[in-house]
Structure 1
Amino acid sequence: LPLARKMRGRLVAEIGELRGLNTKELESIKAFVTRTHENWIPKFKEFATQFPRRSLIIGTTNEDEFLADRTGNRRWLPVEVQAVQVDDISRDVLQLWAEAREMFKAGGIQFDAAERLAAEVHEKYTIKDAWLDIIERWLDEPDLMTGEKPRTRDFLRAADVLREALNLDPKNISRREQMRISNVLQNCGYKSVRKFLEGKQQRVFSPE
């Protein structure tokens, strides 16, 4: 609520250094930037009031790779900013606002165009897991005995990937590593599904 109050009447709200995108706060940040209204009790009022958001939320960072969530990246449109010519902007600011106003009047907010542009550049700014390259190579390496490529299997289990691709014992792997495998496989084009195997339900990964 204090943040919602601070945003009232502001044109731009900044998330400095994109803090929280790589932490447990990620889900809260995703929900925050997606909201279109704020609901809180104004000072000296008795009841809560719903206020439509009228601010543009931007995040700033000096990192080359900062997008960490495959499902939440669509919320961001990465834009690289070089040296800013302050004098030129000051001179042309009214013209820029006038052009923006006419574009808005003609077609509203171009959400589809923004998402399309964002999707084209997301890969460049996505944080790469060190396991990704290893697992991608393994998926396309033929088995020495059978010639089978792991990518041709109907499904993969996290334990198989850990053992065969990374030479790790699944028994010694924590929940964090399991989630890491899940994220890597999703980036490789797999989806998590439940399958009845060996007499019980198991989570496996199937090609999308």
Structure 2
Amino acid sequence: MANVESVSLQRKEPEIARCSRLFFAEHDLIDRKDGSLVASIYSTHQHTDINVHYRDSVGVQTFAVLWDKHGLDNRLFHVVEEAIALDVLAPVQLIHHSEGLLTLLLDPSFRQGTDQFVEFWQCIASNVICDCWDLRLMCETQIRHFTEGRQFRTYAKSILAVETLGIVDLNLDHFLFKEEWHQTMLDMYKDEPRGADPKDDQSAFDFFDDDLPF
């Protein structure tokens, strides 16, 4: 999470905490002025990099869903599930739907080397539950004051500024119960014999073994 305080957005506990079996709700973003739901931040495991090549180890991807003016549309949960199943979510930082247009805000380092990525997303958009949506792919630098979609123009850049979206390596900070074990790990570290070669013994904080597949 970015250590940036937004003047327009405020974090709160997610309105729907259990939205999928494939990804996890981190928190919601609401408008500071009227308290309306603006966006939700989610995370999932990710085994490909931004350019949809397999990673050496599993990572954690954080992405945003920017809701339209009518609020939450749970069909977007299914859209994300389809993207995860087809391995095309990795380059996506933000997803937004409004009036039949599905917009994907992509990581600027994504290189669209093949048409398969676009084809898969077009298939997802055109086969959304009880509807058929058009697809728009963009990067942050392409957002202008005349870009279609008022909600998208108003909030997309603010969300990118306040949230750290993308893929990072899995580490101890992702363990949801880390704080419960923090003091125990400190005590273990303090009890280690003084003068021990740090190269011979792993620190109590070295929770993940480099030899493990993740």
Q: What is the TM-score normalised by the length of structure 2? A: 0.21
Larger strand percent:
2
Q: Who wins on radius of gyration, i.e. which is larger? A: 1
